[in-house]
Chains A and B, each alone.
Chain A
Amino acid sequence: MGQNRNKILQLMISNLVNAVVHKVLEETVKEEILRDHYNQEGLISLDVAKRYREKINPVQRGLPEKDLEKIKEEVLRKAKKELRLRVSKGYQEIDLSLADKVLEEVLLELRIENEKE
């Protein structure tokens, strides 16, 4: 069970990385995309992350601090690595600090983190 939980956590993390990178990159081209169209399609990686989230207890409230720290650390590290790769290839105007903000929003949306009172 414990091993299974870790596996699901990892799967959720990789989808969160993808979602965060996507949302950060989206900011750099937001003027150029047909937003309505793509918003409707949604981000499959975020949907998949939600599905995995629903398989991790506790479902109704935020995950324990230990899991939360691990998720934050890993998602940010991997997402920033992906973004830096693009910067190194000449991609301009990527705001790396945006990744932290986006991740916070996603963690709350997926109820991985509790709302701060």
Chain B
Amino acid sequence: MDQVYLPKLRPPGFSVGDFVEIVPTKRKKRSFFTHGVSSLETIKNLVKDELFDYFEQIDNVIITGSFLEQGFKFNDVDVVLVNNTKIDKSWENYFQKKLGIDIHFTNLNRKTLQQGLQTDPLFQMMMSKYIAKKREIFQFKNQFNYKLLDLHLLKSKTILESFAGLTGKEKYDLTRNMIAIQLFLKKEKLSGDIVDKEIERSFGKGTIHKLKENMVEKEEFLNKFKAGYEQTFKKIMAGLKNGAKPQ
């Protein structure tokens, strides 16, 4: 148990046997490191501080994902814990109760983190913006694990199967997934902005807004999507066959 020491000569109200309440008056100033994040709303800063305080003992805490986008349209907060600790379900409950938001924890060691950045387009895109307790240096080149890319691309096939049954957000996410894979195969370093720009370039200006609002014109969109999907799938299969770099 931690102890609080009071000076012998103290103001009235602190006699032996009195009950007192200890309340922090000022939060300890913490330094932190940002990557790709220019500003953060005040309330998000509080969330960040709570997380960094709670995981003080953990080697590094990386906050990433849609939480760092401007505004409050995030569903949850993605937190990567760089450590070898087992994730405790009670952490999520604690933050849900305290802050009223869902936190999704991923526990990775540095090797797996690096591997994720090298092989996974979506993870790379997500990690293009982050706030961390301390600086991390990531040096990597895109590595093509075609089995993984095939698995990721397969998710986007749902658009071709059930266009009408998807929400706007799902359509946007699945389109982003496919475009991220396409760019990844072109050895580009990914960020959300780069992928969004490519969506607008490939499908036309205003597509992102229309996708999110679920107002995109089906036939025109699907024709382009199908062509893109098939081309990407072929590239991945060719890579599998050659067991080498994509053509």
Q: Do A and B bind each other?
A: yes
Which residues of A are at the interface with B, using a C-beta cutoff of 8 A? 11, 14-15, 18, 21-22, 25-26, 28-29, 32-34, 36-37, 40, 43-45, 48, 51-52, 86, 89-91
Give Cα A27 to B107, complex, Å: 21
Decide if B151 touches A22 in the complex (CB within 8 Å).
yes
Measured CB to CB, the closest approach of chain A to B29, in angstroms, equals 31
Interface residue B112 (Cβ < 8 Å from any Cβ of A): yes
Known: A34-B106, A34-B108, A91-B240. A15 touches B162 (CB 8 A): yes
What are the nearest 7 A-B pairs in CB distance? A14-B161, A89-B237, A90-B241, A36-B106, A45-B158, A29-B147, A48-B162
Give Cα A41 to B40, complex, Å: 25
Give Cα A14 to B123, complex, Å: 27
Contact of B161 among A15, A25, A29 (CB under 8 A): A15
Which residues of B are at the interface with A, using a C-beta cutoff of 8 A? 87, 104-108, 112, 115-116, 119-120, 123, 145, 147-148, 150-151, 154-155, 157-158, 161-162, 165-166, 170, 173-174, 237-238, 240-241, 243
Decide if B170 touches A29 in the complex (CB within 8 Å).
no
Give Cα A59 to B87, complex, Å: 36
Contact of B240 among A22, A26, A45, A89 (CB under 8 A): A89
Decide if A18 touches B106 in the complex (CB within 8 Å).
no
Decide if B106 touches A44 in the complex (CB within 8 Å).
no
Residues of A within 8 Å of B87, CB to CB, are 36
Give Cα A43 to B162, complex, Å: 14
Which of B112, B157, B238 has most A Cβ within 10 Å? B157
Known: A29-B147, A34-B116, A91-B240. A11 touches B165 (CB 8 A): yes
Residues of B within 8 Å of A43, CB to CB, are 155
Decide if A51 touches B165 in the complex (CB within 8 Å).
yes
Residues of A within 8 Å of B105, CB to CB, are 36
Give Cα A43 to B155, complex, Å: 7
Residues of B within 8 Å of A14, CB to CB, are 161-162
Residue of B nearest to A85 (CB): B237
Residue of A nearest to B242 (CB): A90
Measured CB to CB, the closest approach of chain B to A37, in angstroms, equals 5
Decide if B150 touches A45 in the complex (CB within 8 Å).
no
Measured CB to CB, the closest approach of chain A to B11, in angstroms, equals 51
Give Cα A86 to B241, complex, Å: 9
Give Cα A18 to B116, complex, Å: 24
Residues of A within 8 Å of B145, CB to CB, are 29, 32
Residue of A nearest to B123 (CB): A34
Measured CB to CB, the closest approach of chain B to A50, in angstroms, equals 11
Residues of B within 8 Å of A15, CB to CB, are 158, 161-162, 165
Give Cα A90 to B243, complex, Å: 9
Decide if B154 touches A22 in the complex (CB within 8 Å).
yes
Measured CB to CB, the closest approach of chain A to B239, in angstroms, equals 9
Decide if A21 touches B166 in the complex (CB within 8 Å).
no
Decide if A48 touches B150 in the complex (CB within 8 Å).
no
Give Cα A91 to B146, complex, Å: 9
Give Cα A103 to B239, complex, Å: 29
Give Cα A83 to B7, complex, Å: 74
Give Cα A84 to B151, complex, Å: 15
Give Cα A21 to B157, complex, Å: 11
Decide if A25 touches B106 in the complex (CB within 8 Å).
no
